[in-house]
Structures are given as C-alpha cells and as structure tokens.
A and B are shown apart, each in its own frame.
Chain A
Amino acid sequence: MKQERFVALHRREWDSLEAWLKALDRQAKRLLQQDQALDFPASYRRVCHHLALARGRGYSHEVTERLQRLVQQGHQVLYQPPAPRWHRVIAFLVAGFPRLVRAQWRCMLAASVLFYVPALVTLVVMQLRPEFAHTVFSSAQLAQFEKMYDPANTHIGRSSGTDLQMFGYYVMNNVSIAFRTFASGLVFGVGAIYVLGANGLLIGGVAGHLTAIGYGGPFWRFVAAHSALELTALVIAGGAGLKLGLTLLAPGRQRRGPALVAAGWVGAQLALGAFAMLVMAAFVEAYWSSIAALPDVVKFGSAALLWVLVLGWLWRGGRAVKHGA
C-alpha cells in the first residue's frame, strides 16, 4: 500500500487519539471516565500496529515519527503504575518492614557490631582512663556537652531552643545522617562502615565522659527513651548500606546491574522504614526526653517499654499467625 493511501485511511483515528491524549494532560480524572476512555486501549493497539506496518514498509519519517510519538504517549497512559494506597503504607510499617529487616539479618548483625562494639569500648575506656576524652573531643565540645547535661538544668539535652525547634533540628540532622549512611554504602560499603564506626565512637565517648564526670544521671535520663528508635534506625540504614556495598563487591550469581537494582529496591524500603522510625524518634526526643521533672521510674520505665516494643516489633512483626489445626 502506498503511503498516501495508508495515511488517508487512518488519519482520522490518529487525529482523535492525539486529541484525546492531549486533553488528558489537563483534565485527567474526568476524561478517564468517559466512553472514549473505553475505546482507548483498542485504538492504541491499532496505532501500534500501524507503526509496525509503517516501519516495515519503509514509509517516510514524517509518518513513522508521528506514530512513534503517539505510541510513546499512549504507552505511558496504558501502562501507568497503580496509585499507591495508604493502607499499603500501614501494612508496610507493621509487617513488611520488620520482615525485610529479618530477611537481611546478616547485614543488620554486621552493622550492629560495627556500631555497638566501638561505642561500648569507648564507654568502658572512658571510665578507666577519663583523660582519653580529650583525645576524642576538643575542649569546646566537652564544655558544650557538660553544659547540655548539667544536673542543674530545667530542660535536659539542650542549651536553648523550644521543643518545635529541636524537633526540626533532629529530623533534619538525624534523618540526613541515616540517608547518607545508606547511600554511602554504595562506595564498596566503606561509607557505611565509616559512619557506623565513627558514630559509635562519638556516642560511646559522650556517654562515657559524662558518666565519668558524674553527669550520667541527666544524660541517661535524656537518651534512654529515644535511643531505642534512633540507634536501631541508624543500624538498619547502615545495614542497608552494607548490603548495597556487598552487592557491588560480590553480586553472586547475578550480573552486577540487576543485582544492584534488586539491592537498591530492598535498600530503599529499609531507608524509608528508618525514616519513619527517625521521625518518631525525633518526636520523642523533642517532646518527651527533654522533660527533666519526671521521676526516674517513669523515665526509665518508658525507655524500657520503648526498647521492648521496637525490638519486639522487629522480631515478631509480620510473622504469620499460627492457627491451631
């Protein structure tokens, strides 16, 4: 068939499809419910057929380019991914996320070791040799920590600022650290190892120093509650980063590209879960941890409860409930 005849035969269909797709850009919802929408898949498939014919018969660019453009637009409308649903977010937080963390337990274990071992070692060393504080921190930093956790303060854990300000600060700071820990894992895991180790060292150092000089009371009262969410989220983000670096080094039986895509898929979900945990942690840290006036029982009781809840959630969440036979 000559090109002119082909175009004359089908031009009307192409025009109407083009017009419909163009209108869709502006008023998606209403058009998708029209009768024309029902006709769209069939019409789109016919145009695909026309494109294949036009290419096969070597018609001019003017025609093939136009058909290619139509097919490209139609493809994006027909194969649109389903819109996310809110209940899936909740299902992910309750079940999917803990399941994912357990599935990656080797990386999570490695991340915990990388974080908690330096933290505990510095914590103990600071008790035995308090002067080591000066090799880890500068004098100005030490003075600031001591001011923040002075037992005489009415608010603990901060020298100034309101709860809302500190909430914003914690979200910006802590979540950014966690995201960077995850992403820098792609540099053969080195970034994640460094961030985990360095944070372990610093946090252990602060805790050890303050305990050694007798400011331990306010410090532990402040950090006990939110640390359950915050430290666990940091370890999870670090574990996801390690997984990414490990996949780059040893992709196993897959090629590197597909293996990395799979690891990135898992890592992104872990990073999003860690994000949710850190926002909760920031909330607790800003509005609960900073209250100095509560008795120790309430403070440490709530902290213990939070630790049990977080670890229990990660351990049991998303397991199928066993029914009796």
Chain B
Amino acid sequence: MIDTVREIETPEGVCLRLRAAGALPRAQAWMIDLLLRFAFLIMAMIPLGLFGQGGKGLALLLMFALLWGYSVVCEVWLGGQTLGKRALGLRVVNADGTPVTWLPSVVRNLLRVVDALPGVYGVGLACTLMDPYARRLGDIVAGTMVIHAADLPAGQEIPALAALPLPLVLASDEQAALIEFAERAGQLTAQRQEELANLLTPLTGQRDTAAIRQLVGHANWLLGRA
C-alpha cells in the first residue's frame, strides 16, 4: 500500500481515516518550533540580563523548560499541536485517534533523544521511512502518530445537468466510479476528460464532449436529481 491512511474503528462502528504525516512536513514543523523557541529565549535574555547572576539561573531554567517541556505542554494543551505543527496543519494523536495525553506525549518527546541520534535525526528519519504510518521510534513506544489535521481539498459539486436514466443496471462500484468521474472531471484537463469518457462509448454511444455531458447526466440521475 502506498496509502498512508490508517483506519481506526470507533465505538460507533464506523471507520475513521487518519492520514499519516511524512518526514518532510514534520521536519519543517520542528524547524519552526526550534526557531520560535530560540527567538523566545533571546527575547527573554534581555530583561533577565539585568538581574546579573540570578538572571543567568533563571535563563537556564527557561532553557530547560523550552528544551524538555515546550513540546509536551503545547501538545497536551493545544490539542496535539505545537505551534510549528499548527502552522503546517499537523496533529499528534493517540492510537485511538484522540489528541495526545500527558504520558504518551512525555514518552515521545523524551525519546526524541534517540531519534535524533547521529546528530541529524538519522534514526527518526530511517524509522519514518520504514514504518507504514511514518512513526519515529518515540511515536512507536508512546503509541502515538502524527497526522495531517487540515482537510483535503473537498470534492467538487457535480455540475447540475438534466438527469438521464441509465440504459442498464450497473453494479454499485461501477455507479460509484461514474459518480466519482463526474465529481472530479472539473479538476482534469478537457483532453483527459474526453479520453476517459470515450472509454464508455459502448454505454453512451457518444464521443468527446457529448459523452462527458451524457455521463454527468447519468451521474445526476444516480444522485437522484430531478
């Protein structure tokens, strides 16, 4: 399977489809987080510098919090998103599809140490490439995964044409394919639309633009439009 969709069955018996996020968007999110933390630390150093030696201690405490606590606190309080993940539309979820909770978040962020191992996230990268859900080691141990939270571009409305009854009964998957064609036709070039519609000349008895129109008409009929 090239698809990185993970299906989770909810207690209601329907499948949730979670789309796993790959290494690149996650690396970008991590980069944004790193820069944000760095900028915040620099900004905080200016007033803390006025306190002399004690200020240095506070700066170290702040550095500690940013290093070990930032990700955990953000993930738990902001519904599985650090600021970088929010910018890229990613979300950390538990195995059951709910936003990550305290202990799993602590585990996945502590084990970052191992994922980062040969300096540049080598272990983590190798792991995300091998795992079917693109999880790094920390995610596997914590039982979490990172998903795309942003919505896919929604399918387009099927253009409303006069409904044409189908001349014969189609199987349900054939009907679905026909509806899907009508739904996505707007995203394809005219030539590709014609190419696909011409495959069904035995059904429609038409070619090119007329075939497309007829297929969309059939789709309208299948949807139950008048």
Using A2-B223, A62-B154, A62-B156 as known contacts, say yes or no to A268 and B183 having CB atoms under 8 A apart. no
Alpha-carbon gap, A264 to B63, bound state (A): 25
**Contact, CB under 8 Å: B96 / A79:** yes
Q: How far is the CB of A97 from chain B (nearest CB, A)?
A: 13
- Any chain B CB within 8 A of the CB of A114? no
Alpha-carbon gap, A165 to B94, bound state (A): 38
Q: How far is the CB of A144 from chain B (nearest CB, A)?
A: 19
**Contact, CB under 8 Å: A51 / B57:** no
**Contact, CB under 8 Å: A45 / B68:** no
- Any chain B CB within 8 A of the CB of A176? yes
Residue of B nearest to A72 (CB): B16
- Chain A: interface residue count, which band? 35 or more
**Contact, CB under 8 Å: B152 / A65:** yes
Residues of A219-270 contacting chain B, CB below 8 A = 244, 257, 260-261, 263-265, 267-269
Can you list, as one digit per residue, whether each of A50-64 has a CB less than 8 Å from chain B (1) or not (0)? Answer: 011001011111100
Using A48-B13, A69-B151, A75-B10 as known contacts, say yes or no to A58 and B61 having CB atoms under 8 A apart. no
Using A168-B58, A179-B110 as known contacts, say yes or no to A68 and B158 having CB atoms under 8 A apart. no
Q: Which residues of A contact B64 (CB under 8 A)?
A: 168, 171-172, 175-176
- Any chain B CB within 8 A of the CB of A5? yes
Q: Which residues of A contact B94 (CB under 8 A)?
A: 81
Q: Pick out which of these stretches binds chain B: A100-108, A180-188, A295-303.
A: A180-188
**Contact, CB under 8 Å: B60 / A172:** yes
- Any chain A CB within 8 A of the CB of B142? yes
Q: How far is the CB of A265 from chain B (nearest CB, A)?
A: 6
When the two chains form the complex, which single residue of A162, A187, A268 contacts B57, counting CB atoms closer than 8 Å? Answer: A162
Residue of B nearest to A2 (CB): B224
Q: Which residues of B contact A52 (CB under 8 A)?
A: 13-14
Can you list, as one digit per residue, whether each of A151-172 has a CB less than 8 Å from chain B (1) or not (0)? Answer: 0000000001110111111011
Q: Which residues of A contact B11 (CB under 8 A)?
A: 79
Q: Which residues of A contact B110 (CB under 8 A)?
A: 179, 182-183, 268, 271
Alpha-carbon gap, A191 to B223, bound state (A): 61
Q: Which of B106, B110, B111, B172 has the most CB of A within 10 A?
A: B110
Q: How far is the CB of B207 from chain A (nearest CB, A)?
A: 25
Q: Which residues of B contact A69 (CB under 8 A)?
A: 151
- Any chain B CB within 8 A of the CB of A10? no
- Any chain A CB within 8 A of the CB of B35? no
Q: Which residues of A contact B111 (CB under 8 A)?
A: 183, 186, 264
- Any chain A CB within 8 A of the CB of B134? no
Residue of A nearest to B137 (CB): A186
**Contact, CB under 8 Å: B106 / A58:** no
**Contact, CB under 8 Å: A260 / B98:** no
- Any chain B CB within 8 A of the CB of A76? yes
- Any chain A CB within 8 A of the CB of B49? no
- Any chain B CB within 8 A of the CB of A316? no
10 contacting pairs across A/B (C-beta < 8 A): A58-B172, A60-B158, A65-B152, A68-B16, A162-B57, A168-B59, A179-B68, A179-B110, A186-B141, A268-B106
- Nearest first, the 7 A-B pairs at minimum CB distance are A2-B224, A168-B57, A168-B60, A165-B57, A183-B113, A264-B141, A48-B12
Q: Give B residues with C-beta under 8 Å from A.
A: 10-14, 16-17, 52-54, 56-61, 63-64, 67-68, 79, 94, 96-99, 101-104, 106-107, 110-114, 117, 137, 140-143, 151-152, 154-158, 172-173, 175-176, 179-180, 183, 222-225
Apart from the given pairs A60-B179, A80-B99, 14 other A-B contacts in the complex at a CB distance below 8 Å: A57-B172, A79-B98, A81-B101, A84-B102, A165-B56, A171-B60, A176-B67, A179-B68, A186-B111, A186-B114, A186-B141, A191-B114, A261-B141, A264-B111
Q: Give A residues with C-beta under 8 Å from B.
A: 1-5, 44-45, 48-49, 51-52, 55, 57-62, 65-66, 68-69, 71-72, 75-76, 79-81, 84, 160-162, 164-169, 171-172, 175-176, 179-180, 182-184, 186-187, 191, 244, 257, 260-261, 263-265, 267-269, 271-272
